[in-house]
Structure 1
Amino acid sequence: MNISELAKASEVSTDTLRYYEKQGLIAAPLRQQNGYRCYTPEHLGLVRFIRGAQTLGFSLSEIREVIPQLAQGTFGRAEIEAQLALKMAQIDAHIRQLKSLKKELALTFSSLQCSFDQAVSLRAGTPADVSTGPDAVLVRKAFMPRK
């Protein structure tokens, strides 16, 4: 199949296929006499695997690491489970980070001491030690280290 046919079958663009090839994610296909790429069903399977893994949150560099095992037929259930467990742990850590960030945002939101029509001043300090003037309000810096 040519590049357009592979793109349609795998639901990716021809540019994506060329990028995968350039990055070594898929092997360079044989060329026809006219210079056109000639892809195999194996290319299609690999592109579908890459897209599926991306959907599960795996980066192209993570995917690149397992492709040789796939090609050699040594990527079994134990390896799949290990990769999935690692990805779930990374997602759990990211969720914890996001929850912490959300908490900081909520604290910042609750520290706003102005009406909707007042301008905001981003000065460090507290209301007790900073004069903000009639048209400005102090906003606590959310990412400032706490004492």
Structure 2
Amino acid sequence: MRIGELAKATGVDTETIRYYEKAGLLPAPARSGNGYRAYGPEHQDRLAFIRHCRALDIPLAEVRRLLEFLLHPETDCADVDRLIETQLARVRARLESLQALERQLSTLRGRCAAGRLAGECGILRELLAAAQEEVRPDHP
């Protein structure tokens, strides 16, 4: 199949497929007589694996390691478990950060008094004060 067909079958953009090839995550396909890339089922399977890993927000460097484990099934899978534990820790940290962000936005929303003019808006006033604090931390 051609790159467009592979893209359609996997839901991965053609530029991303080319990037994965250059990065060595996807093996270079054979070329047909007219020079077009000719992808096979193994490319589709590997691309589906990469896409699923990326959907789990696994960084490409870690996807590369997972692919190596697939190529060497005799290796100890404890490393795979550690890799997933590390990813789980990243996700948990991001969740904590998002929860803190949610609290900040809820507090900010509480500064609103509907029906006022923008010049009297508590949200805008709070955002402006916070921005100025970032620029001039010693500002009263």
TM-score (norm 2): 0.71
d(CA) in 2 for partners of 1:138, 1:7? 48
Which amino acid in the other structure matches residue 94 of structure 2? Answer: H
d(CA) in 1 for partners of 2:14, 2:118? 51
Instruction: State the shift of 1:121 in Å.
Output: 8.2
Do the aligned partners of residues 63 and 118 (structure 1) sit closer, same or farther apart at CA in structure 2, a change above 3 Å counting? same
Which of the two has greater helix per residue?
2
Residue of structure 1 equivalent to 2:130: 141
Cα deviation 1:14-65 (Å, max 9, x = unaligned): 3322121122211111212221112232211110100111111213233123
Cα deviation 1:54-86 (Å, max 9, x = unaligned): 111213233123322322335664343322222
Please say which of residues 46-55 and 79-88 is displaced more in the overlay: 79-88
- Aligned 8 A contact 2:30 2:37 in 1: yes
Larger radius of gyration: 1
d(CA) in 2 for partners of 1:114, 1:8? 48
Residue of structure 2 equivalent to 1:28: 28
- Aligned 8 A contact 1:113 1:138 in 2: no
d(CA) in 1 for partners of 2:47, 2:91? 24
**Is 2:71 the partner of 1:103?**
no
d(CA) in 2 for partners of 1:57, 1:120? 42
**Is 2:18 the partner of 1:5?**
no
Please say which of residues 30-39 and 6-15 is displaced more in the overlay: 6-15
Aligned partner of residue 119 in structure 1, secondary structure: helix
What is the CA RMSD across the aligned residues, in angstroms?
3.1
Residue of structure 2 equivalent to 1:52: 52
Residue of structure 2 equivalent to 1:131: none
d(CA) in 1 for partners of 2:102, 2:114? 21
TM-score (norm 1): 0.68
